[in-house]
Amino acid sequence: MNYIFDIKNLKCAYQTDKVVLDVKQLQIPFGKIVFVVGESGIGKSTILETLGLMNNTIISEPDTLLNYRATPVSEDVNILDLWGEKGDKRLSRFRLNNFSFIFQQTNLMRNFTAYENIAITRMLQGKSRGESITRTKEALTALGLSQIDHKREVFELSGGQQQRLAFARAIVPDFSVLFGDEPTGNLDPVTAEKVMTILKNQLKDEKSNHRDATAIIVSHSIDLAIEFGDLIVKIHSVPRENNPDRYYGVIDEKSIYDKRDGVWFSHAGKHSDNELQLVLKYNGK
C-alpha cells in the first residue's frame, strides 16, 4: 500500500538534548482526513511543522525515515534531503506546489484585500488572475462570505470572518496535503462543523478539484475528530527518564485509530464513537 507520508524512528527537538516528539512509526494513506490529538504542549504542532517543511526540528539518525509521495504513482521524496537544500528556492517551491496551510492565528496579510489574500497562492502556482478570482468567489460563497466586496480590507472583518477567509485561502490553491493547526479553534461549534463539512466535500466529492487530497489537522476537539476524521493519531505523553515531572510526545502503534466502514479500529480492537470519545479523553498517558 502506498502512503503519502511514511515515517519511522523520527525524533524532533527544539534543543538538541531535549526530544519533544518521538514518532516510532506513522503511515498516512492517501485521501484521508487525519486528526492529530493530545494534550497541550505534547508535540501536535511539531508534527505539522516537520511534515509541512515549516521548521526543521528533526534529529537525523541512521534509521530515520521520512518519505513523502505526492500521488500514488509518484516517486518517494526524502524530506531529510529537502532540508539539506533549505537555502535554495526549491524548498519554498516544493511547499507551494504540494502543501496548503490553515493556522489558528490567521496570518492574513493586512496590506492585501480579502480577495487578494485568497487568490495570491493560486496565482503564485501559475494560474491566471481571472481563474484565481473565480475560485476565490466560489470558496467565499461556500463559506457564507459571498457579501464580501473584492476591495474589502482584512482589518474590516470580524475575527470569525477572518478565520473563514483563512480557510478559503487554504482550499483555493492546488495541493496534495492540507495542514491545519487548530483551524476551527476560533469558530463557534456550528461554524466549525460547517467549514469541516466543506473541507470533507473538497476531499471526497468526485467533482472536486481536490479529490483524493489529504488533510492533517491538529485539534483539541475530539467530537470533530470522530465526526470528520478517517484516521486519528493520539500523541501519548511519556515522562522523561531524568525528569519524570516533564513529558514528551510519542506516536506508535497504540496511537492509531482507523475508521473502516463507519467503525473505529485500534490495536485494542473495535470502538464505537462513544467508546472512542472516552478512550481519547481519558487515556492521555
Segment 72-84, tens digit of pLDDT: 888 999 998 888 7
Kindly report the pTM of this predicted structure. 0.92
What is the pLDDT at residue 206?
65
| DSSP-based three-state secondary structure for 251 | strand
| DSSP-based three-state secondary structure for 118 | helix
What is the pLDDT at residue 122?
95
Beta strand pairing call for 18-29 and 3-15:
antiparallel
What is the pLDDT at residue 255?
94
* Residue 260 phi, psi dihedral angles, 5° rounding: -130, 120
- Residues spanned by the domain of 24: 3-282
* Total domains, the chain: 1
- The DSSP 8-state label assigned to residue 156 in this structure reads G
What is the pLDDT at residue 173?
94
Domain containing residue 60: CATH number: 3.40.50.300
Average pLDDT across the chain, whole number: 90
Of 8-22, 188-202, 215-229, 237-251, give the range with the top mean pLDDT.
215-229
Q: What average pLDDT does the segment 186-197 reach?
A: 90
Distance CA(163)–CA(283), nearest Å, equals 31
DSSP H or E run through 5: strand 3-15
| H-state helical runs in the chain | 44-51, 79-83, 89-98, 114-124, 129-142, 159-171, 189-204, 222-228, 273-282
What is the pLDDT at residue 140?
92
Radius of gyration of the chain (CA): 19
Cross-strand bridge partners of residue 231: 34, 258
Whether the predicted pLDDT of 285 surpasses 50: no
Cross-strand bridge partners of residue 26: 7
* Cβ-contact 48, 104 below 8 angstroms: no
CB atoms within 10 A of CB 131: 12
What is the pLDDT at residue 9?
96
Burial of 174 (0-12, 13-18, 19+ CB in 10 A): middle
What is the pLDDT at residue 278?
85
Cell of residue 32, nine digits: 484521508
DSSP H or E run through 256: strand 256-260
What is the pLDDT at residue 88?
67
- The DSSP 8-state label assigned to residue 113 in this structure reads B
- Nearest Cα to 175, choosing from 128, 222, 125? 125
pLDDT per residue as tens digits for the range 236-264: 998 888 777 788 999 999 999 999 998 99
